Structures are given as structure tokens and as C-alpha cells.
Chain A
């Protein structure tokens, strides 16, 4: 597609429920990233996929968080047993190999509210 697409744009869920957030990166971009942006804070790195390599999961805050990328394209971030502190905007970005030269292209994010 022309840009990075994220769905849903907004999600309200009850505490304890599981949620899935979807990211459709730019076609041909081999790298895909998930970040979390909490109110008044910067971007917190969550996970990074590069081609067929094992993902860098070093930023996932707990074992309730997981992500997968199928076929080197679409990615799903899953949060199990959601907590109120999970409320944030979840941003997905993709890049060509060598993001340091090109920068990321971000999606518009999914705003998650846990009530």
C-alpha cells in the first residue's frame, strides 16, 4: 500500500480482555517495528522484525505482550489480560533495509483504552 496501515484506529476494551492490533506495512519494507506512546511520554520500543530473522523482543514490557509477523508482511500485536496501564497509542512503523539511511514510515496508530 501507499502507507503503513493500522487497525483499529481506536479500541476500548475491558480490563482482563485480550486485544489484537494489526499493522500492514509498506509493500517491500523488510523491517517492521512496534512502539508504544503513553500520554506525556516519548516512544517506547516494543519489538522489531527484520526479514526472516528472529525478532528483537527486548522492549516487550511483560509476557502478556506478544507479536507475530506473517509472511514477512502483516504484523499483529497481541495484549493478553489487558490492564489499565496498557492504555496508550500503539504505533507501527516500517522501513527498507538500513532504516538508519531512510528513517521509518509510521502508521497513524491505534489508541487503546482499557476501562
Chain B
């Protein structure tokens, strides 16, 4: 079975500061891991994905995430927050069979 836990339902950072959104996963099979972003009144957009290639994955808008098997983590980071990064972020895990399991989301606020 697969599941993800996102620590912190709300995160606030100052503009220009480091963004760190935490995701820990549980999987009985080698996981595929994803981060999605949801802007207000929109669907979810894929930010980046880990599919067993490089452990450091780069995505769109300057975001990246590192797969750490020993810590069962896939935290999302961005060196410098921008106002346009304010959104809801979801971590997801998938095993075989195509179904994804999503975390409860982290709402990111960027303070000017």
C-alpha cells in the first residue's frame, strides 16, 4: 500500500527566502513520486516527478525535489520564493496500477 504525509498544512515564507515543503511516503513497492501545484480555481499542474532515475529532480518554475530512500522523503525546495509561488502543493505517490495517492496538501503563502 502507498500513502504520503505532508508535514505542515500551511507554510509562510518571505519573498526571496528558501521554500521547503515536506513530504514523506510509505510504499510497499519502489515508489514513483510527484509534486503537483494548484493555483486558485484551477486544476492540479505537474511540477516534477521521480521515476527511479536521478534522485535529484528538477521541475518547472525553479522547484526541485530530492528522493531520499533512507528517510522515505521527497521534500520540495526552491532557493528563492516569488510571489507567484503562492499556491497549494500536493505530494503524490504511485506504485503499480496507475492509481496515485495524494497528501492533504500544503498551502504556501509568500510574504512581500
Q: A residues touching B (Cβ–Cβ < 8 Å)?
A: 4, 6, 31, 33, 35, 40-43, 45, 48, 50, 56, 91, 93, 95, 98-101, 103-109
Contacts and interface: CB of A to CB of B under 8 A. Distances in A.
Interface residues of B, number: 24
Interface in B1-58: 9, 32, 34, 36, 41-46, 49, 51
B100 A104 contact: yes
Contact of A100 (B36, B90, B94, B105): B94
Interface centre among A98, A99, A101, A103 (most CB of B within 10 A): A103
Given A31-B98, A42-B105, A48-B99, A100 B51 contact: yes
B98 A106 contact: no
Nearest to B33: A100
Nearest to B41: A108
Contact of B44 (A50, A95, A100, A106): A106
B34 A108 contact: no
6 contacts: A91-B43, A98-B98, A101-B32, A103-B34, A105-B46, A108-B42
Given A41-B104, A42-B103, A43-B90, A99 B98 contact: yes
Given A103-B46, A107-B43, A42 B104 contact: yes
B102 A43 contact: yes
Contacts of A104: 44, 46, 100
Nearest to A111: B41
Given A48-B98, A103-B34, A42 B90 contact: yes
A11 B112 CA distance: 35
A108 B43 contact: yes
Contacts of A95: 98
